[in-house]
């Protein structure tokens, strides 16, 4: 009788091997003649409060928020941090204002690897285009105001964002 040997490889992805990306389109803004200066509306403030509550319920612990320097994204980031109720590093990036999906990849790749969960708050069309590329969505979806896409990445290095390493994703709506 002859026996054959079979080698089985089990890949156990530990929490330390997962980076989590929280993509948020800014909350609803008021009208203003200068687009960059549009602040959040009362409804936009309630959207952020709702999203923060749902992020907490999912037990997502954001380490850093990278946001466009536009007033509505800055306010979205600040109110999100306040409603989550713990210290979060906040960083404005002037180039995130109306940027392309390509720039979002670059901005994420520059994130320090000590950050496990990065939140990115930006604008359409770039944030939606990026989310669709990253999740390889079969149908293009434009994010609504304050809509969130949570993406788990099978990596421990943010520079791997350029590779297709999405292991799971889901959305949260206000």
Mean pLDDT, residues 85-111 taken together: 95
pLDDT attached to residue 165: 80
The string of pLDDT tens digits covering residues 29-44 is 999 999 999 999 999 9
Report helix, strand or coil for 87. coil
Q: Which residue has the higher pLDDT, 2 or 23?
A: 23
Residue 13 pLDDT > 50, yes or no? Answer: no
User: What is the share, in percent, of the chain residues with pLDDT greater than 70?
Assistant: 90
Which residues, 6+ apart, have CB-to-CB distance to 30 below 8 Å?
Answer: 38, 39, 40, 41, 44
φ, ψ (nearest 5 deg) of residue 24: -135, 130
Ranges of each domain in the chain: 26-157
Q: pLDDT confidence of 164, banded at 50, 70, 90?
A: confident
Q: pLDDT confidence of 16, banded at 50, 70, 90?
A: low
- Burial (CB < 10 A; 0-12, 13-18, 19+), residue 89, is middle
Model confidence, pTM: 0.88
Q: E strand or H helix at 144, and its extent?
A: none
- Burial (CB < 10 A; 0-12, 13-18, 19+), residue 104, is buried
The CATH code that applies to domain 26-157 is 3.40.50.1240
Mean pLDDT, residues 100-112 taken together: 95
pLDDT attached to residue 51: 97
Q: Which residue has the higher pLDDT, 160 or 1?
A: 160
Residue 122 pLDDT > 90, yes or no? Answer: yes
H and E: helices and strands count for the chain: 4, 6
The string of pLDDT tens digits covering residues 51-79 is 999 999 999 999 999 999 999 999 999 99
């Amino acid at each position: 009788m002859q026996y054959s040997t079979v080698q089985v490889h089990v890949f156990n992805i530990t929490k330390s091997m997962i980076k989590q990306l929280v993509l948020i389109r800014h909350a609803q803004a008021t009208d203003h003649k200068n687009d960059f200066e549009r602040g959040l509306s009362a409804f936009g403030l309630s959207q952020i409060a709702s999203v923060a509550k749902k992020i907490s319920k999912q037990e997502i612990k954001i380490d850093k928020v990278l946001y466009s320097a536009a007033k509505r994204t800055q306010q979205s980031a600040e109110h999100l941090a306040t409603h989550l109720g713990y210290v979060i590093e906040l960083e404005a990036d002037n180039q995130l204002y109306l940027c392309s999906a390509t720039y979002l990849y670059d901005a994420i790749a520059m994130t320090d690897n000590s950050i496990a969960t990065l939140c990115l708050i930006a604008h359409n069309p770039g944030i939606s285009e990026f989310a669709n590329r990253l999740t390889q969505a079969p149908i293009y979806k434009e994010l609504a105001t304050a809509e969130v896409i949570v993406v788990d990445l099978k990596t421990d290095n943010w520079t791997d964002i350029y590779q297709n390493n999405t292991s799971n994703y889901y959305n949260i709506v206000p």
